[in-house]
Structure 1
Amino acid sequence: MPAQAPDKRHLVAPWVLLAIIVALWQAGVTVGGMPAFLLPSPSGVLSRLVVMLSDAATWPYVGSTMLEALGGCVLGAAVALPLAVLIHRSRWVNAAVSPFLGATQAIPAIAIAPLLAIWAGYGLRPIILLCALLVFFPILVAAVVGLRHVDHSIIDAARMDGAGHAALLTQIELPLALPSILGGIRNGFTLSVTGAVVGEMVIGGEGLGQLLTIQRQVNDTAGMFATIVILCALASVAYGAIYLVERRSAVIQSLAGNRT
């Protein structure tokens, strides 16, 4: 029974925090007398959100942003994971690549987006590339850390049983490093959603970033808040789904370690 307490806290605490934030927001609007075009009330944002979600024209924007974010996350992972294996296995690759990895994070997305438009044209492709660049680093770091922290006694036992490099990687190292890798993907996907919105606002597109631009042009502040709520919901759902897979893989990892 006591083991269930943390799960209850994880379910209740976010809603308590959200209620406090909304209450403070409402109090600020009421007491401060802020005009709606500067800061709409929570009820005004909720009403606008309901209207948007009931409008069929909203969902293509949502679908486009999700496609860009998912495509960027997959592309970023497809590049980051093999590179993480190379860094883990080769000291030369590690020495050559490591000094440049931090530098890649110093370039703001809003500065890279116009260059991607010049190199890759406009539309879906440069936005997916931008998302991939944003998710690349957290996935790479998480994968390298996960691979380096695999229990060496398990690897030594597998080598004594005759496991080669490929078998060690696919059957021992990657499965045991999976929780860490999924943690990187989980954090990376939220960045990918951000990259999609930034790309749409700078390069142009058909997703929620474009919708935000339209709403800004007509001073639809409540609509902008509602769109931001949708973006937060998309990122939170993906974050939670990957977190559940991550926890399950951690349990499997623990069971595998106990067997050994």
Structure 2
Amino acid sequence: MTSSEPRERRVRPTGLLAAAPWLFAVLLLAGWAFTVLLAAPPPYMLPSPLAVLDRLVTAFFSPRFWSAVQETFTEAVGGSALGAAVALPLSIGIHRSRLLNAAVAPFLGATQAIPAIAVAPLLAIWVGYGLGPIVLLCALMVFFPILISSVVGLRHIDHHVVDAARMDGADSFALLRHIELPLALPNILAGLRNGFALSVTGAVVGEMVMGGSGLGQLLTAQRDSVDTAGMFATILVLCAMASGLYGLIHLVERRSHTVASLLP
């Protein structure tokens, strides 16, 4: 066996894995197109891929559409940042303090069990309408996955490494900065990845319940006018936004792994 053969075996699966999402997307589009062609449903029930593509092209040349995209993106990112700003320090407190853990842990599951569409009307009453309450709703949605992932990451650090750092004289802050947070970073980034993707859902739900000028409000207007092709186009844009935020955090996660592997 030559040295080039193992290299080819390593490269081919990588190329196949890279092409797998595109192949799956093509299969979905083909199944969708054949369903419309064979079953011939009314356009208001299931539009054709070409009709949705036409709506997407029209939307891309509309300033109103890009304004809605910017509004929803701002709400999602702002809510994610707010949720992370609360969840990350709380995860450290839960990890460090048994008393705080005992006091807070029974109520953490309740924050995830309450549906966002039930909280949105309360936020409208308490905070009002506009950007602020929608950002707050997004923060509530992303808070739980970021918190749980961070706590799990901090709790699963090798205690031998922590004990060795303490024996070397590391204080509480140095231990957190140089040992605990770097080792828990993959879990923290995984929580941020899921949280940022969920924030798009929170923004849409908030706009549908509390108003606004983003894609959620556009989706509501399209629903009321039975514009199914437009709804499909808007949903695809929302999926792309969530996937983009997810992929961005995943890229940061991969870069952090690469940097960590180069450290001595």
Gaps of 5+ in 2: 1-6
Q: Deviations over 1:60-90 (max 9, x none)?
A: 1000000000010000000000110011011
Aligned to 1:9: 16
2:168 matches 1:168: no
C-alpha displacement of 1:7: 3.8
Q: Tell me, in whole angstroms, the C-alpha distance in 2 between the residues paired with 1:35 and 1:185.
A: 41
2:154 matches 1:147: yes
Aligned to 2:99: 92
Aligned to 1:199: 206
Aligned to 2:31: 24
Q: Tell me, in whole angstroms, the C-alpha distance in 2 between the residues paired with 1:77 and 1:167.
A: 22
Instruction: Check 1:9–1:184 CA distance in 2 against 1; reply closer, same or farther (3 A cut).
Output: farther
C-alpha displacement of 1:6: 5.1
C-alpha displacement of 1:10: 3.5
C-alpha displacement of 1:167: 0.6
Q: How does 1:1-260 map to 2 (within 5 A)?
A: 1=7, 2-5=9-12, 7-256=14-263, 259=264
Greater displacement, 145-154 / 233-242: 145-154
User: Per the alignment, in what secondary structure is the counterpart of residue 57 of structure 1?
Assistant: helix
Gaps of 5+ in 1: none
What amino acid maps onto 2:42 in structure 1? P
Q: Deviations over 1:88-108 (max 9, x none)?
A: 011111111111111111111
C-alpha displacement of 1:255: 4.4
C-alpha displacement of 1:248: 1.7
Q: Tell me, in whole angstroms, the C-alpha distance in 2 between the residues paired with 1:33 and 1:254.
A: 55
CA contact (8 A) 1:146 1:178 kept: yes
Q: Tell me, in whole angstroms, the C-alpha distance in 2 between the residues paired with 1:175 and 1:26.
A: 48
Q: Tell me, in whole angstroms, the C-alpha distance in 2 between the residues paired with 1:10 and 1:153.
A: 37
CA contact (8 A) 1:109 1:195 kept: yes
Q: Tell me, in whole angstroms, the C-alpha distance in 2 between the residues paired with 1:103 and 1:169.
A: 29
User: Per the alignment, in what secondary structure is the counterpart of residue 63 of structure 2?
Assistant: coil
User: Per the alignment, in what secondary structure is the counterpart of residue 121 of structure 1?
Assistant: coil
Instruction: Check 1:5–1:156 CA distance in 2 against 1; reply closer, same or farther (3 A cut).
Output: farther
User: Per the alignment, in what secondary structure is the counterpart of residue 244 of structure 2?
Assistant: helix
Q: Tell me, in whole angstroms, the C-alpha distance in 2 between the residues paired with 1:90 and 1:3.
A: 46
Q: Tell me, in whole angstroms, the C-alpha distance in 2 between the residues paired with 1:138 and 1:110.
A: 18
User: Per the alignment, in what secondary structure is the counterpart of residue 39 of structure 1?
Assistant: coil
CA contact (8 A) 1:176 1:253 kept: no
C-alpha displacement of 1:237: 1.1
What amino acid maps onto 1:209 in structure 2? G
Q: Tell me, in whole angstroms, the C-alpha distance in 2 between the residues paired with 1:103 and 1:65.
A: 26
- Aligned-residue CA RMSD in angstroms? 1.3
Q: Deviations over 1:38-71 (max 9, x none)?
A: 1101111011101101212210100000000001
C-alpha displacement of 1:130: 0.4
- State TM-score, norm by structure 1: 0.95
Q: Tell me, in whole angstroms, the C-alpha distance in 1 between the residues paired with 2:88 and 2:243.
A: 24
User: Per the alignment, in what secondary structure is the counterpart of residue 38 of structure 2?
Assistant: helix
What amino acid maps onto 2:115 in structure 1? P
Query: How many positions carry a matched residue from both structures?
Result: 257
Q: Tell me, in whole angstroms, the C-alpha distance in 1 between the residues paired with 2:237 and 2:12.
A: 30
What amino acid maps onto 2:94 in structure 1? I
Instruction: Check 1:204–1:19 CA distance in 2 against 1; reply closer, same or farther (3 A cut).
Output: same
C-alpha displacement of 1:154: 2.1
C-alpha displacement of 1:149: 1.6
